[in-house]
Structure 1
Amino acid sequence: MYRIWVVFLLAGFVSSLEAQDKNRQRTQLGSLIGNVLDQVSGKPLPFASLLLTRIDATATPIPLLADKNGGFGFESLSFGYYRLKVELVGFAKYDLDSIHIYAERTDINLGDIKLNAAGTALNEVIVYAEKPLVENRDGKVVYNVAESPLSNGSNASEMLRNLPLMNANPDGTLLLRGKEPLILMDEKPVNLSGQQLTELLESLPANVVEKVEVMQNPPPEYATHPGGVINIITRKGRVGIYQKLSLSAGSRGEAGVSGYVSYRSSKLNMSSSIGYGTSLSQGNSWSHRQNIYRDSVNYFYSQSAFHNRSRHPNARFQADYDFTKKSTISFVYQGNLNYYNNRSDVLYTNRDSVLNVYKASSRNNAYDGDGYNHGFSGSYQWKGKNPVERLQVYSGYNFSKNENNRDFYQQFLQSDFLPTGLDSTQVQLTDNYVRSFYLNSNYNKPINDTGTSFLSIGSSYTSQVYHNMLNTSFLRKADQVFVQNALLSNDFYFHQSVFTVRAALIIGLPHDTKLIMGAQAENTQTDFRFVKGNAPNANNTYWRILPNLTIRKEFSKEFNLSFVFRETIRRPGMNELNPSVDFSDPFNIRFGNPYIQPSLTDNFDLNLSYSVRNFNLNTSLGYNRVKNVFNSIRTLADSGKTQTTWQNISDQEEYQASIWSGITIARKIRISISGGYNYNKYSAREKSLYRYVDGGSLYATFNYSYSPDNLTMIEANNRYTSFASPQGRSRSNINMSLSAQRKFFNKRITVGVAAIDPFGLQKYNGFTYGSNFTIESYSASNTRNFRITLSYQLSKVMVRSNLNDKQRREALDKLQQK
């Protein structure tokens, strides 16, 4: 009897929900908004004529004129399918068909509708499709960040980790298909590397990003970069003034506040953001090393715990101005500050062949520091009568400083962990200054009237100057005075300049085939100049000519296949070159190598893309021949200490495979699956002498989203990674992010909640093999975090028409006469 009553009550509850839903459908009305722009210049088109017609009913068409800024808005629309017609003298007609307004999607923002000039294009009829979270477009995987609740309260670095085909290695470096990608912002390189790039991405709020384009095979101007390209497209201002404020807080000790303001008129587009965030990370790790000698074996164990806190204010300003329909100038400022306070405690134990402890020591490490990074960039763009013809010139200047004060206190212990009475105190003070300048130009010249064939040429110049000052001192016990340690101190300048010229020919062939042939000549100059230190000055200059070839076949609008050959160059960065000794772990010291050489790679890729309304597939197979590979290598000295540095190790072969698929199961449910496998093969000599191991790196992601209505979005992301190196492997557990957002009060307020790794910690298990040692390691970070974000939109989204009834009737008559 009890079960019958439960079933009855549940049935009644479901029936009441269905009744409420039907009543809501009868009473609720929808809206449609957007902007009308010039396709060539991007300028708003004022007073364009619009006509909205209900397709599935005999309702009277609704006429409207766009306002002086090109904005329009239709209100009080009943549910159904609509067709929108846009007309303006001097421009081709534009029809947008099958716009569906229904209970789960009552308010639709069409964004920018771009009209082509009447003489350059036929009238356009486009079937409207809702924007998915992830889509496949023109060989790019596009992640619409603005649609993602995971972007609420997160930073750009965290957001990029959730992209298809993306992952991060154990030290946090972002990877695309197993290689470090080139980062662009609004189609321009950020020209940052290492610590500068990390700080920028961690300080940039994800809510200033509109979408991210993932390009596995870069366009001709970036074809020599060894990885793919990530293009971060920032939000552009809506017509008029738009303002938004966001607050976030997490259970892990993080918090943030950011504000966004934009203004857009017929010629001027400005946007700015400012934010402040704090973060906290905690974790622990252990390492078990077996030392193998000619006649004995012993062990070295370590276990540690860390506590890291940082604060990072940031600001960004961008202004675009259209002189004419064909020429635009842009200016961008991006700045961020970084303050950090890190602590770690380590226990070391030396053990004999049967694992008995015969000596030990404890070490306390304290890192305090701050830094800044400021970047200024400007660009000019000109477009010809043919949309393909385009000239781009952009330049920028960045300068940054990082100050790091590190204190080390080590106490030596007996086998029973009682103090021996001996201890050591050291201090390392580091000041690092970076200045960089770049100047790039690109020009596309059509060689036929249709623009299917054109010549693309360009050149670039980049200059970077690093100044590193490291002062190491130890406490002399006798008089309690710190004395400088000259062997662990240095002062040096590093300068690198790269000049390139390139040309590519894009030819449209019969049967929907495209051929791209190009080459880039590069001159690189590097030099180290030591003011103080134990290394001699070094310099290197070299020329490289790097060809590329792409053959792309369009079998249909849905299916295409391309073959790509590229010769690429990977230059060592400051992380690999810096000779400063990292003494945070005295038994495992680390330093760079200023003498390593760049590596060259012959890349062969076969890419397949298939896209229909509810299914997208992007997959690739690759083979690479890498010459003069450089990697971090660990060796064991007779003293029982290991040292890790970068070396050119050998040539290698790489085999790659990757896949991404986006599937729309129903209007409300979409899933995205991506994964890849990279297999590295080393020469027999290195495997024999250094115990290098052939191995593969694997990454896999599973993303799904659910939208019960147009006000609610639920998204989840799961990731797994396993990395192989010449000396071993590092594996992570499955990482998970789950988030949801809901909009209230006519979409003015958005509330988001997110759970990052709700079921555990982020863990890595690693194995490293050397010629005379083996290491098993483990690390865990407290990534579990429950975050809530509140966003308030100060500006109204709806653009209301100022036309009276008489003006509406005149506009309707004018359109019907046409």
Structure 2
Amino acid sequence: MKRIICCCIFILTLHLYSFAQNNNNGIIRGKVVEQEGGLPIPFAVVAVSENNAEQPLFTFQTDENGLFKFTNLKPGTYKLKVSYVSYTPLIVNEIAITAASPDKNLGLLKLASSQNNLNEVVITQDKPVIEIGADVITYNVGSSILAEGSTATDLLKEVPMVQVDIDGNATIAGKRSTRVFIDGKPSDYMTSNIADLLNVLPSDAIEKIEVMTNPPAKYSADGEGIINIVMKKGFKVGFNGNVSISAGLQGNTNANANASYKGQNYNLSLGGAYRKNVGKSNSESYRTNFFPDTTFYYNQFNQANSKSDGGNFRTSLDWDITKQQNLRVTASFNLNNGDNESGNDFYYISEENITKRLRNQINTGNTSSNNFVFNTDYNFKLDTIGSKLSAGITVGTNSNNSLRSFHRSYAFPANLNPTLQQNDNEIGNRNINFNLDYDKPVFNKRDRLEFGIAYNYRKNDNNQLVEDYNFKTQQYNTNIKLSNQFFYNENILAAYGSYNYRKNGWSAKAALRSEYTNVNFDLSTGQTYNVDPYFSFFPSLSLNRYFRKRYNIGLSYSVRINRPRENALNPQINNADTLNISYGNPHLNPSFTHQVDLTFGVFGKNWSFTPRLSYSTAKGVIERYRFVKSNGVSESTFDNVGSNDNMSLMLIGNYRPTKTISANGNFGVFRSKYRSDINNSLNKEGVSIRSRIGFSAQLPYKTAFEASLSYNNNVNAQGRNKGSVNTSFGLRKSFLKNNLIARISANDPFRASHTSTYSEGLNFYSQSYGVSNSNNVTFSLTWRFTRIKTNKVEIPPPPKN
């Protein structure tokens, strides 16, 4: 008997020794499904790492049935992280691989929807910077070094398919009109200038940015795409937050603080930020004017300096009233102030190169704006299979005041006296947004049915007072021709429904949204414009297929609308530059766009590649166009210029050769073709290019490095906007158990941002060149404070054979 026991011990010892020597027998497997409905989640990102390590050893994507399997693991204790777009990540701790138990089957791992999750088990998350879905591209802010210590405007420059112009306006590449949403609500209802809002929104308060070329039916049908900025909700159990300060060599500063506390059934978040920016730019433009009897030139040289500062303050309460009911209340307040001054030199040169007139102009101005937004959302789980009812209301108010002065002096003709003009522009907005949504799983929880209603109300008051200075009486007198007040009212009532079918790797979705629009506006001069109310229908279809564990293909079709907004409708004249004036057009009609997108994705163990092919056609396209009158004055306004056909190819990929190095990039080619009946000069076609490449590496000693390079060259209805190559570099190091983080970033260190544009019409050709102080080095420090409880997930025993 003793011999038998000794033999068993000897055999067991040999087995344990053999396993210890052979370090590739460990297995971790499981299946990722939805918490509500239990459907498998294909292509969810699953990462395994050693229990105390920050970086994953391996990253895997689930197959079309939600299954994953890690092999060749050494004995030890591991941690598993599961994440997917629009779901809250899940972490499984303390997975022990031993000789006695080398195969760990975790069973079903259930992911909860991040939009309505009442019982989170997520403690930390480690997402890739960019996630690609069938209809959405997600940029995870917390995973990027370049995102730290910056603002929403800076972040958008790093997001695939997004381009930001020199004024801070963000659009989806290849799309003429883009809406910017915050937490699913349109931000252009929150402010009169979206760029001002994005410039004070701190990156530390943002969780992710979603780019949707085919938005769900519950979103507004306005715009050819939506950029949705999702704010952090602080769903970590306990108390946590951060304080950060940054300063740049050019004088820009940024300070912000965020804190949140999550109790058993509630979460309270507070945040605030202050930023100060300094801007400098130089530009020059050359315009050639062609007329039957002469040709002459206008050359213009500009220098501008600006200083601005602003603050952003936010608070939110997320309360689980019961296990079925959740209430979220948020409030935010933003303010901006700015001062600017510029000098302009204007030259009028005849065909014989003789200067006929020389004018100098000094411009000074200051602006201030503020907006307040209050939002509340209520969610009610109707049953245990995932049916839910959601209701939300948003109320916002904002104001903007701009005071500008233009002092003009003339050298030719010599008898022309100097002039001094003052423009005081006050803008006020009021808005209400309401939505009611019902979502229900059907047919054994496999499919989903959703329908709802929404209402948007917008009121805008734009008051422009123009005064000319009388040097004799030393008084300002009202300029009646240029002064005006513009009142705008918009009511949109919408109803929508959608059905989502999923089975065996297939996903099909059909949706229909209908909107009733009632718009009217008038001027203080007595002119009233009543637009006939109209119904619009917006169908959308999408079909996606996941197969062979590494491929997906998607096809979508949608109809969108581009409504003329008040800035395009307002006929008030802007004559800050009397040789190049601009105004709106109150006779604009909405434009409708039909768009088709084809997406194909290939995923490997360390890489992914996703080409996107898109086609869109639009009628009655709203574009700003320019013409020169017989007196040589250039005028620009908006009109329904005609039709536009756009074909684009976007290539998006990422590569991670090791667990510490990753690269991502995108390259897009966009071909636009304009056809117009109102102006032959708008019959244009051309190719736009957008490209970006990013690189990041985790270095020794808790140090990380990130870099990006981008280039844009865009065509428009009358010409082209060409930008220079822009570069960014960031280096980060952690101290004191990762609580203190130091960062240095360099933006365009080799060369300031250069832009060039050209445009042409029936009787003119114009070229412009500009340089701005984008080259800057910024230093920042962040202190993170955390008091977090840990939720452990129970590992179910392996199923019996």
TM over 0.5: yes
Matched, 1:424 2:419: yes
Is 1:647 matched up with 2:645?
no
Q: Aligned to 2:350, which of 340, 349, 352?
A: 352
1:471 partner letter: L
* Residues 571-592 of structure 1: per-residue CA shift (max 9 Å, x gap): 1122212222112111000111
How many angstroms does 1:261 deviate by?
1.0
- Three-state SS of the structure 2 residue aligned to 1:158 is helix
Aligned to 2:688: 697
Q: Secondary structure at the match of 1:670?
A: strand
Q: Name the structure 2 match of 1:768.
A: 759
Quote the residue 1:246 is aligned against.
Answer: 244
Q: C-alpha distance in 2, partners of 1:651/1:130?
A: 45
Are 2:144 and 1:144 equivalent residues in the alignment?
no
Give per-residue Cα distances to partners, 1:219-256, cap 9 Å, x unaligned: 23237344333332322322211131111100121012
- Could you say if the C-alpha distance between residues 626 and 800 of structure 1 is closer, same or farther in structure 2, counting changes exceeding 3 Å? closer
Residue in structure 2 matched with residue 82 of structure 1 by the alignment: 78
Q: Distance in 2 between matches of 1:454 and 1:84?
A: 29
Other structure's SS at 1:575 match: helix
Q: Are residues 685 and 646 of structure 1, via their aligned partners in 2, closer, same or farther at CA, if it must alter by over 3 Å?
A: closer
Does structure 1 residue 492 correspond to structure 2 residue 486? yes
2-structure distance, mates of 1:706, 1:95: 23
Q: Confirm or deny: 8 A CA contact 2:302 2:343 kept in the other structure.
A: yes
Amino acid of the structure 2 residue aligned with 1:327: Q
Match of 1:558 in 2: 550
Q: Give the distance between the partners of 1:539 and 1:264, measured in 2 at CA.
A: 49
**Equivalent-residue separation in structure 1 for 2:570 and 2:652 (angstroms):** 37
Checking the alignment, whether the CA contact within 8 Å between 1:622 and 1:656 is kept in structure 2 is yes
Match of 1:529 among 522, 531, 544: 522
The offset of 1:340, in angstroms, is 0.6
Distance in 1, Cα, partners of 2:228 & 2:294 = 54
Please give the secondary structure, in 2, of the residue aligned with 1:486: coil
**CA shift for structure 1 position 82:** 1.7
Q: Which moved further from structure 2: 554-563 or 202-211?
A: 554-563
Structure 1 residue 176: Cα displacement: 1.5
Instruction: Map residues 739-754 of structure 1 onto 2, 5 A cutoff.
Output: 739-754=730-745
Asked whether 1:389 is paired with 2:382, we answer: no
The separation in 1 between residues aligned to 2:271 and 2:302, in whole angstroms, is: 39
For residues 348-377 of structure 1, the C-alpha deviation after alignment (integer angstroms, 9 at most, x for no partner) is 000011333221100011111211110000
Q: Deviations over 1:39-67 (max 9, x none)?
A: 569xxxxxxxxxx99899xxxxxxxxxxx
What residue in structure 2 maps to residue 209 of structure 1? 206
In 1, are the aligned partners of 2:135 and 2:215 still within 8 Å (CA)? no
Question: Which residue matches 2:399?
Answer: 401
Change (3 A) 1:170 1:746: closer
Give structure 1 stretches of 5+ with no counterpart.
1-37, 42-51, 57-77, 87-93, 102-112, 118-125, 802-810
The equivalent position to 2:505 in structure 1, one of 491, 504, 512, is 512
- Cross-structure match for 1:4: none
Contact map agreement 1:652 1:681 (CA 8 A) in 2: yes
Give 1:766's aligned amino acid: T
Deviation at 1:618, TM superposition (A): 2.4
Partner amino acid for 1:527? N
**Deviation at 1:190?**
3.7
Partners of 1:490 and 1:705 in 2: CA distance: 53
Q: Which residue of 1 aligns with 2:66?
A: none
Q: What is the 5 A alignment of 1:280-295?
A: 280-295=278-293
**Displacement of 1:742:** 0.9
Q: Residues 521-547 of structure 1: CA distance to partner in whole angstroms, max 9, x if unpaired? A: 1111111122247x5444342111121
What corresponds to 1:637 in structure 2?
A: 629
Structure-1 separation of matches of 2:409 and 2:247: 39
Q: 1:242 to 1:319 in 2, by over 3 A?
A: same
- Which one of the candidate residues 353, 369, 372 is aligned to 1:371? 369
Indicate how the Cα distance of structure 1 residues 546 and 83 shifts in structure 2: closer, same or farther if over 3 A, else same. Answer: closer
2:570 equivalent in structure 1: 578
TM-score (structure 2 length as normaliser): 0.83
Cα pair distance change 1:694/1:99, threshold 3 Å = farther
User: Could you give the per-residue CA deviations for residues 71-90 of structure 1, whole angstroms, max 9, x where no partner exists?
Assistant: xxxxxxx995526799xxxx
Which of 749, 769, 781 aligns to 1:790? It is 781
Which residues in structure 2 correspond to 1:413-452 (within 5 Å)? 413-414=411-412, 422-449=417-444, 451-452=445-446
How much has 1:182 moved relative to structure 2? Answer: 3.3
User: Is structure 2 residue 476 aligned with structure 1 residue 482?
Assistant: yes
Pair 85,330 (structure 1): closer, same or farther in 2 beyond 3 Å? closer
- 1:183 equivalenced with 2:174 (yes/no): no
Aligned residue pair count: 706
Does 1:677 find its partner at 2:669?
yes
Quick one: which amino acid aligns to residue 437 of structure 1? I
The counterpart of 2:268, out of the listed 247, 267, 270, is 270
2:728 paired with 1:731: no
How far apart in 2 are the matches of 1:409 and 1:55? 68
How far the C-alpha of 1:422 sits from its partner, in A, is: 1.9
What secondary structure, in the 3-state scheme, does the structure 2 residue paired with 1:422 have?
A: coil
1:401 alignment partner, SS class: strand
Structure 1: distance between partners of 2:79 and 2:647? 49
Amino acid at match of 2:779: I
SS in structure 1 at match of 2:138: strand
- Structure 2 residue matching 1:202: 3-state secondary structure: helix
Partner of 1:107: none
- The reply on whether 1:708 has 2:703 as its aligned counterpart is no
Distance in 1 of aligned mates of 2:779 and 2:80: 39
Q: 1:667 to 1:395 in 2, by over 3 A?
A: same
Q: Deviations over 1:370-405 (max 9, x none)?
A: 111100000011234455422221110110111111
Distance 1:420 1:755, change over 3 A: farther
Unaligned runs of 5+ in 2: 1-33, 38-47, 53-73, 83-89, 98-108, 114-121
Instruction: Give per-residue Cα distances to partners, 1:428-458, cap 9 Å, x unaligned.
Output: 1111100011001221222211x22222111
Q: What is the distance in 2 between the residues matched to 1:483 and 1:707?
A: 64
Tell me the SS of whatever aligns to 1:159.
Answer: helix
Contact preservation (8 Å) 2:156, 2:164: no
| Per-residue deviation, 1:786 | 0.4
Aligned equivalent of 2:531, options 539, 553, 559: 539
Q: 2:560 aligns with which of 568, 573, 586?
A: 568
Structure 2: which amino acid aligns with 1:207? Answer: D
* Alignment partners' CA distance in 1, 2:51 and 2:402: 66
Secondary structure of the equivalent of 1:576? helix
SS in 2 for 1:549: strand
Post-superposition Cα deviations, 1:12-32, rounded to whole Å, max 9, x if no partner, equal xxxxxxxxxxxxxxxxxxxxx
Measure how far apart 1:207 and its partner are: 0.9
Deviation at 1:148, TM superposition (A): 1.5
**Alignment-derived partner of residue 236 in structure 1:** 233
Which letter does structure 1 place at the counterpart of 2:709?
N
Q: Deviations over 1:69-120 (max 9, x none)?
A: xxxxxxxxx995526799xxxxxxx99489799xxxxxxxxxxx96789xxx
CA shift for structure 1 position 139: 4.9
Does structure 2 conserve the Cα–Cα contact (< 8 Å) formed by 1:40 and 1:325? no
Cα 1:312/1:143, change in 2 over 3 Å: same
- Structure 1 counterpart of 2:195: 198
RMSD, matched Cα: 3.2
Give the match's secondary structure for 2:199.
Answer: helix
* d(CA) in 2 for partners of 1:427, 1:289: 27
